[in-house]
Amino acid sequence: MDRDICIIGQGLTGLTAAHRLAKAGKSVTIVDLSDQSGGLAADIPCGGTTVERMYHHCFASDEHVLQLAAELGLAAQLKWYRPSNGLLSGGKLYPFTTPADLLTFSPLPVWDRVRTGMTVLAAKRRREWRTLENTTAKSFLIAHAGRTAYEKLWKPLLVSKFGDDADQVSAVWIWNKFKLRGGSREGLKEEVLGYLDGGFGRLGRTLAERLPADVLLRNNETALNIRRINNGYAVETDSGIITASAVIAAVSAPVFNQLTDALDLGDYRSRLNAVRYKANLCLLLSFDAPVTPFYWTTVCDRLPFVAAVEQTRLVPAETYGRHLLYLSRYLDESEPLWSETDDRLASVMKEALFAVFPEAKAHCRGVEALTRSRYAQPVIPLQYSRRMPEISTPLPGLFLAGMSQIYPEDRGLNYAIRLGNETAGLILA
Ligand SMILES: Cc1cc2nc3c(=O)[nH]c(=O)nc-3n(C[C@H](O)[C@H](O)[C@H](O)COP(=O)(O)OP(=O)(O)OC[C@H]3O[C@@H](n4cnc5c(N)ncnc54)[C@H](O)[C@@H]3O)c2cc1C
């Protein structure tokens, strides 16, 4: 056997697991199809520093991010900012940062604004989530915030992330969102978001740089399949074969499904088959002047993007010597936008942006990055705790550790780090 453990994927999950296992004396090889560490949080150079290809921030309650930053000596560079949020609804921009903003949100009748506020507050305080597993987010929101609030506020938000699957999404997912945002503010005080100087791509890069010397990190190498051999596994890649006693696939469920095609996983296979993901298109543009009034603008109208995230409304524009704005769209691979060329995609998104913010056109410097992530967000259906493919597969020494193993929380850097540690712990137990 070449190694004790082969890890597929050098996102935060794979790298965290690698560190813990190497520290415990295991020999580890990591393979990743990319030449960069950090997976979805990977970055690009920008104005003498770095910034994520896709927007990232953390919450005050993200204990695993805080702990990892401290371990890597980056704690002082994790800074806290007060975000401003807005909603674009019916072609109009509304501030949506404070409870007072909700209370003056005119598209909703006054009583529905109050009910919406109470729904969010109650969700923040709620600890028990299992009874929510039988309810869709839609039913939960209609029951608590009212139908008008659902139609005008929550439905556009759910559809913007989950498209045709919006009606299937579990109430556990929306409960978590409320809880997370609530956890980043004290009572009715302002919300704070964390951002690491140079971006969260640094977490992945620093983890990779600090891997013990005997950990082999093989970039630009795609895992093709996993086969069983005596007392372990053979991971076939496009550059060779790695044999190991155990394998952690720190990738999405569909990728794992393909990799394990030749293995008998019994009922576990049907769980893998059932996990669905949304893809994401993310365009990062730079400007000479601010574009939107907010850090985060949620788009309730039908535009080719569902969120406009102005990085330089959170972090000062001087950091990058330019203003940065992400335009994000979740979608299915079958939607025509997914297969557009990069140029066409960028121009469709830019045109829609300039229709809402006409002055931005003259200030636009150009495209900094355009990123397509096929597996960006798992769709969390009812009763996911019973349907989720577990980290431990039915085969000894074979583990799946991706975003579909995070529940009841939603995917995020914090949970990727937790998952990496947890998976390593299963091997070391
Ligand atoms: C648009 C967007 C915005 C986000 N914003 C935030 C945010 O603000 N805050 C937050 O906490 N989280 C955010 N997230 C989520 C966060 O990025 C993820 O939860 C986290 O990075 C997942 O890490 P991971 O290691 O589990 O997976 P990934 O980062 O997906 O890593 C998987 C790795 O596996 C590799 N790989 C895949 N297939 C193969 C193969 N066959 N062979 C070899 N290698 C392979 C990939 O190249 C990749 O490096 C966001 C995600 C998206 C899509």
- CATH number of the domain encompassing residue 10: 3.50.50.60
Mean predicted confidence (pLDDT) in 288-293: 98
CA–CA distances in Å: residue 385 to residues 106, 129, 187, 362, 417: 38, 11, 30, 50, 20
Distance 4 CA to ligand 1 centre (A): 24
The residue out of 136, 154, 184 marking a domain boundary is 184
**Ligand 1, pocket-test mutation among 251, 259, 370, 423, most atoms within 8 A of CB:** 251
Judge if 305 and 365 occupy the same domain: yes
Cβ of 57 below 6 Å from ligand 1: yes
Cβ of 235 below 6 Å from ligand 1: no
Judge if 304 and 374 occupy the same domain: yes
Judge if 108 and 145 occupy the same domain: yes
For ligand 1, atom 8: residue with the closest CA: 56
The domain containing residue 154 runs over which residues? 99-184
pLDDT at 186 over 70: no
The ligand 1 atom at the shortest distance from the C-alpha of residue 413 is 11
The ligand 1 atom at the shortest distance from the C-alpha of residue 376 is 53
Mean predicted confidence (pLDDT) in 174-192: 74
Judge if 284 and 233 occupy the same domain: no
Judge if 41 and 159 occupy the same domain: no
| Residue 45 domain flag | yes
HSE, side-chain direction, 13 A CA sphere, residue 199: 26
Q: pLDDT tens-digit profile of 341-384?
A: 999 999 999 999 999 999 999 999 999 999 999 999 999 999 99
Distance 407 CA to ligand 1 centre (A): 16
Cβ of 10 below 6 Å from ligand 1: yes
Q: Do residues 257 and 386 touch, judged by C-beta distance below 8 A? A: no
| Residue 343 domain flag | yes
Percent over 70 (pLDDT), the chain? 98
For ligand 1, atom 19: residue with the closest CA: 412
- CATH number of the domain encompassing residue 328: 3.90.660.50
The residue out of 184, 218, 252 marking a domain boundary is 184
Q: Give the pLDDT of residue 185.
A: 61
pLDDT at 390 over 90: yes
Judge if 299 and 366 occupy the same domain: yes
> Domain total for the chain?
3
CA–CA distances in Å: residue 160 to residues 137, 139, 252, 309: 14, 17, 21, 14
The residue out of 137, 159, 184 marking a domain boundary is 184
Judge if 250 and 290 occupy the same domain: no
| Residue 371 domain flag | yes
For ligand 1, atom 25: residue with the closest CA: 11
According to DSSP, the residues that pair with 226 across neighbouring strands are 235
DSSP states of 24-37 as a string? TT--EEEE-SSSSS
Task: Please tell me the distance from the alpha carbon of residue 321 to that of residue 317, in angstroms, as a whole number.
Answer: 6
Cβ of 201 below 6 Å from ligand 1: no
Cβ of 41 below 6 Å from ligand 1: yes
DSSP states of 270-319 as a string? HHHHH--EEEEEEEEEEESS--SSSSEEEE-S--S-SEEEEGGGTS-GGG
Cβ of 12 below 6 Å from ligand 1: yes
Cβ of 196 below 6 Å from ligand 1: no
| Residue 80 domain flag | no
Instruction: Specify the range with the lowest mean pLDDT, choosing from 178-182, 212-216, 325-329.
Output: 178-182
pLDDT at 12 over 90: yes
Judge if 402 and 270 occupy the same domain: yes
| Residue 189 domain flag | no
Q: Give the pLDDT of residue 127.
A: 87
pLDDT at 188 over 70: no
Judge if 393 and 264 occupy the same domain: yes
Cβ of 34 below 6 Å from ligand 1: yes
Judge if 295 and 371 occupy the same domain: yes
Mean predicted confidence (pLDDT) in 257-270: 97
Distance 101 CA to ligand 1 centre (A): 33
Cβ of 280 below 6 Å from ligand 1: yes
Q: Give the pLDDT of residue 189.
A: 65
Cβ of 17 below 6 Å from ligand 1: no
Mean pLDDT, the chain, integer:
95
| Residue 68 domain flag | no
| Residue 91 domain flag | no
| Residue 87 domain flag | no
More confident position, 187 or 35 = 35
Confidence band for 2, pLDDT divided at 50, 70 and 90: confident
Distance 356 CA to ligand 1 centre (A): 31
Judge if 153 and 244 occupy the same domain: no
Judge if 315 and 259 occupy the same domain: no
Q: pLDDT tens-digit profile of 94-125?
A: 999 988 999 999 999 999 999 999 998 898 88
